[in-house]
Structure 1
Amino acid sequence: MRRITGRALGTWSLRLDAAYCLILGIFVAAAAPQIATAVALPVPLLIATGSIVAVWAGSVLWMVAHLRLRIALHLVMGVNILAAALIAVASLTATSALAIIAVLAIALDVALFATSQLIAIRKINATPQTATA
């Protein structure tokens, strides 16, 4: 059985993170009026948040293509940690137990992306560096 490298894990983590952000961002922006009743947050805030998350998806893909992988992983992981915390706090505004669970599930998803990025960073750091001429 072949083990996945830190570089492969990091690249896949960032790409999947971008896809998740795009889908979630579009969904939140489009469904803002319905979501607002479940989490008691203003519709314009939810539309803006969804839009920012969708744009962030493009930024993550740009980072994968243009930045050193370690830097991209650190940046996205930091944003994911902050986002997971903010999403968890947003669950406090939920109007029902089901809404609380749904919002906390999203916070957990985001935290898991940060975890996968941390694992990728650690694997990359543990890989012996080859000498270049």
Structure 2
Amino acid sequence: MAKINGEKLGRWSLRLDAAYCAVLGGAVALTAAPMAQVVALPEAVLLAAGAVVVGWAGLVLWLLARVPLRSALRLVMAVNVLAAAVVAAASATSATVLVVAAILAIAIDVALFATSQAVALRALPAPTAG
């Protein structure tokens, strides 16, 4: 089995995570009104959540450019674990099984990003002392 390049995987994971967040956050913000009726959350909450997710996408890219990769991966992975739990819990407010399934799929996507970031962290060379 080929050795995983932790740096390459980590950078790709963060880039894809940022793109996913930008698209998902924008979609949530733009469809907040109709979505509010389906998921039984206030439109303002959905609009704010979408805006925060788009802002997070920008922060992930900033971290990738300015912070040591190991630190960026740890932070983004931790936020992804928290976000996956919050999104999964939010699925409980949904009115239909199809909507619950769609929201849980998003939670799984976010959890998979966290997993890819954990794999990248493990594959990075150990930090040198000194």
Shorter-normalised TM-score: what interval? over 0.9
Q: Number of residues paired by the alignment? A: 130
Large movers: runs of 4+ above 2 Å:
1-4, 127-131
Q: Unaligned 5+ residue runs, structure 2?
A: none
| CA RMSD across the alignment | 1.8
Task: Evaluate the alpha carbon distance shift between residue 37 and residue 12 of structure 1 in structure 2; reply closer, same or farther with a 3 A threshold.
Answer: same
User: Does structure 1 conserve the Cα–Cα contact (< 8 Å) formed by 2:18 and 2:58?
Assistant: yes
Give 1:20's aligned residue: 20
Take 2:36 and 2:114, find their aligned partners in 1: how far apart are those partners?
A: 27
Q: Counterpart amino acid of 1:78?
A: A
Q: Normalising to structure 1: TM-score of the pair?
A: 0.92
Task: Evaluate the alpha carbon distance shift between residue 130 and residue 89 of structure 1 in structure 2; reply closer, same or farther with a 3 A threshold.
Answer: closer
Take 1:7 and 1:84, find their aligned partners in 2: how far apart are those partners?
A: 24
Cα deviations by residue, 1:96-124 (Å, 9 ceiling, x for unpaired): 00000000000000000000000000011
How far residue 34 of structure 1 moved from its aligned partner, in angstroms, is 1.4
Take 2:110 and 2:76, find their aligned partners in 1: how far apart are those partners?
A: 11
Fraction of identical pairs, as percent: 56
Give 2:83's aligned residue: 83
Give 2:64's aligned residue: 64
